[in-house]
Amino acid sequence: MNNLKENVSSWMGIFVGCSIMAIGFVFFINPYNFVPGGVYGASIVMHNLFPSIQVGTFGYMFDIPLLILSLVLLGAKLGARTIVASLFTPFVMNVLSELVYPTQEALQSLDPSMMLGGMLDLSDHLMLACLMGSVLIGVGCGIVVKSQATTGGTDIVAMILQKYANIRFSNGILIVDAIVVAFGLLVIGFGIGTADDSTQPSWHLSFYSLIAIYVTSRVLAYVINGAKDDKLIFVIGSGDMTEFNRFILEDLDRSATYIKSRGLYSNKEKEMLFLVVSHKEVTSVKHKIKEVDPRAFVVVTDAYDTFGEGWKQLPSKGEIQPE
């Protein structure tokens, strides 16, 4: 029964996440020709070259061959959820685009002043449009990944590069996004290859594209991992730390680990206390250390990820991790 609920919840998450992504693209990214990397960034560029073909349709043209290529080169590595997410997102984009633009001409031009009668026209507020679209895409993509799927596209290219060119997955994504943004700069920024002469170059849109890529990646990481604000603290006391130990166990309701250590200068045996706390608890820990042992040596650093009792559970085998 629990597995059934998890599966239903997971599939619902995929459809909801893909829909949120599509909303971000249709209302805030596509009309302003931002190119946020990836398959749909490339689709926006191609739409500028061939306006009669919708952005979502170009998404199909990229995604389907990439899915087939992944089966040939990577084997059955992508699950049904990823395949569904890759195909459902462009479908929603096409449906929404048909609904919000009143005429075929408006649909081809993606004129924001004609979208929903101009109610969401942010042509004079490009940064706001860029941020809103990026946040929605990041949230939607994060929900999809938390539902144990990906949206395919550049993820597949990065996996192929990792396997056959020994390029790290994150670097592969960066390479693909850089190529897509450069493609957008040529086509949209300088009008190369477009039907109309670019009398007013839009090269500045590439800067918005870079902002969109950054914001999307940060929002995606936040949705999947949370704030990642855990702190790792090392404490080497110079005296009796009994009161500090009580503070950790009773006041913070946490535990810690003693690690045997030796001072390089003094050559004396010491005990180093190792503990993980949330960022909200760091100040109280510092104050308590100063109260108990003002001469203690303390190091506070970020904890990238924390698993175990009182924290997150370790991921299962095959579970998708964002970073």
Q: What is the pLDDT of residues 49-107, one digit of tens each?
A: 999 999 999 999 999 998 888 888 877 666 788 889 999 999 999 999 999 999 999 99
Q: Which residues pair with 257 in a beta bridge?
A: 274
Among 56, 63, 58, 31, which Cα is nearest to 46's?
58
Give the Cα separation of 19 and 137 in Å (integer): 9
CA 201 to chain CA centroid, Å, is: 30
List Cβ neighbours of 95 (8 Å cut-off, separation of 6 or more). Answer: none
In three-state form (DSSP H/G/I as H, E/B as E, the rest C), the secondary structure along 222-274 is HHHHCCCCEEEEEEECCCCCHHHHHHHHHHCCCCCEEEEEECCCCCCEEEEEE
Residue 312 is given by DSSP the state: B
Residue length of the chain: 323
Percent pLDDT > 90 in the chain is 43
314 phi and psi angles, rounded to 5 deg: -60, 140
Q: Pick the range with the lowest mean pLDDT from 124-128, 151-155, 227-231, 272-276.
A: 227-231
31 phi and psi angles, rounded to 5 deg: -65, -20
And the tokens for 288? 């308590």
Q: Pick the range with the lowest mean pLDDT from 23-27, 35-39, 183-187, 219-223.
A: 219-223
Domain spans in the chain, listed from the N-terminal domain onward: 2-225, 230-302
Q: What is the pLDDT of residues 210-250, one digit of tens each?
A: 999 999 988 987 887 776 678 899 999 888 888 999 999 98
- Residue with tokens 């890759």, as numbered in its chain: 86
| Region label for 148, one of left (φ > 0), alpha (ψ between -120 and 50) or beta (otherwise) | left
pLDDT of residue 172: 83
Give the Cα separation of 223 and 44 in Å (integer): 25
pTM above 0.95, yes or no: no
Percent pLDDT > 70 in the chain is 89
Quickly list DSSP for 59-76.
Answer: HHHHHHHHHHHHHHHT-T
33: three-class secondary structure by DSSP = coil
And the tokens for 183? 């493609």
CATH number corresponding to 230-302: 3.30.70.120
